[in-house]
Amino acid sequence: MGCHYSVTCLDCKTDYDCGYGSYSSWAPWVDTVAEFDAWATKEPDLAAISKNQNIRKVLVEHVGHKLERWSSDYCSEIGGDLLMHAGYDDVVLVKKFGSFARVDMDKL
Residue 10 burial (CB count, 10 A):
16
Contacts of 11 (CB under 8 A, 6+ apart): 62, 65, 66
The reported pLDDT for the residue numbered 19 is 94
d(CA 53, CA 36): 10
Quote the domain boundaries for residue 16: 3-107
The tens place of each residue's pLDDT in the chain, 108 residues long, gives 688 999 999 999 999 999 998 888 899 889 999 999 999 999 999 999 999 999 999 999 999 999 999 998 889 999 999 999 987 889 999 999 999 999 999 998
Domain count, the chain: 1
